[in-house]
Amino acid sequence: MTNKVTVVGSLNVDTTLRIKRMPLPGETLSSESKSSAAGGKGANQAVAAARAGADTKFVGRVGNDQAGQFMIDSLSENHIDTRYITKDEHAGTGSATILLDDNGQNSILVYGGANQCVSPADVDNAQAAIANADFVIAQFETPQETTLEAFKLAKQHGVKTILNPAPAAKIDPEILKVTDLIIPNETECATLTNVIIADETSMLEAAGHFAQMGVKNLIITVGSKGAFYCTQNGYDFVPAFKVHAVDTTAAGDTFIGALSSQLKPDMSNIKEALIFAQRASSITVQRMGALPSIPTLAEIEAASQN
């Protein structure tokens, strides 16, 4: 049974600058190398879902420019249905500049561009893609009103919704009421619940806050430590796989996309899907770049045999 996943989200051309360490305020550093690749949280999550075996569709916007066509082609090459990507005549394609240091840590500067123009009307035009999905995924690199429209539409058709509240932002409480599964990292979780994530007790407290806001299922990703899940069927903390990280860009996005390819809509296999997703993101962090680093189903399965 192949999961059908529709991603409503961002499309960015990523430019990565390799540096020895992060610059101090007012300091100028030389970059050791520069590379460009397709990225954006939405694109990364869609490619991760598609490469892990999901039937994937994308709703978003790019500029009517070379970078926009590059993004559409990049998704098409990954067997993602791009018919619901609109070319915006006024805004340029989104972009991100990534500073990556020798420890594999990154700082990212994002220009939203056409991503900020993804509208509720775009979602309505993609109603067929949403109605026929098992999961609809959204993040916060596109307007929240658009996410709300997508999730409302999903609920009307009995489709499960996954929210990745990244980058961390003040959230429209109406979105949480139509969110089935929320996947923040520990920083985003603290921003949304005012609970500092330190241990299992604090994670359960955060889950209680989300439940009060209307979200019954939670996964908190905690970087190289692992991930915590809490559903109506139980909770657990699953340690991450130990690997040497060279670039953490797209690790969280890989996790979400890979998870959506395996998760059952009733969430009954959430632990197994979470372990699969962790395996996928552990491969991503061992490679350079965002979209180019995301593994295929065959690679994830091969890593699982080791």
Specify binding-site residues for ATP: 185, 221-226, 252-253
Whether 253 is catalytic is: yes
What are the binding residues?
12-14, 40-44, 141, 185, 221-226, 247, 249, 252-253, 284, 287, 289, 293
What are the binding residues for K(+)?
247, 249, 284, 287, 289, 293
- Identify whether the C-beta of residue 132 lies closer than 8 Å to the C-beta of residue 125: no
160 C-beta neighbours (distance < 10 Å), count = 22
Q: List the structure tokens of 201.
A: 């007790």
Q: Which amino acid is at 230?
A: C
Q: List the structure tokens of 6.
A: 């529709």
DSSP characters over 152-181: HHHHHTT-EEEE---S-----HHHHHT-SE
- Give first-to-last CA distance, the chain, whole Å: 25
Q: List the structure tokens of 187.
A: 């920083």
Q: List the structure tokens of 165.
A: 């509240």
Exactly one of 55, 88, 253, 266 is catalytic; which is it? 253
SS3 state at 99: strand
> CA distances (Å), 34 to each of 16, 17, 38, 104, 158, in order?
6, 5, 14, 15, 45
Indicate the Cα dihedral angle 58, 117, 11, 180, nearest 10°. Answer: -50
Sheet holding 181-182, edge to edge: 81-88, 55-63, 4-8, 135-138, 160-163, 181-182, 217-222, 226-231, 234-239
Rounded to whole angstroms, how far apart are CA atoms 33 and 101?
A: 11
Rounded to whole angstroms, how far apart are CA atoms 282 and 90?
A: 39
For tokens 């999550």, name the residue.
45
What are the binding residues for substrate?
12-14, 40-44, 141, 253
Catalytic residues: 253
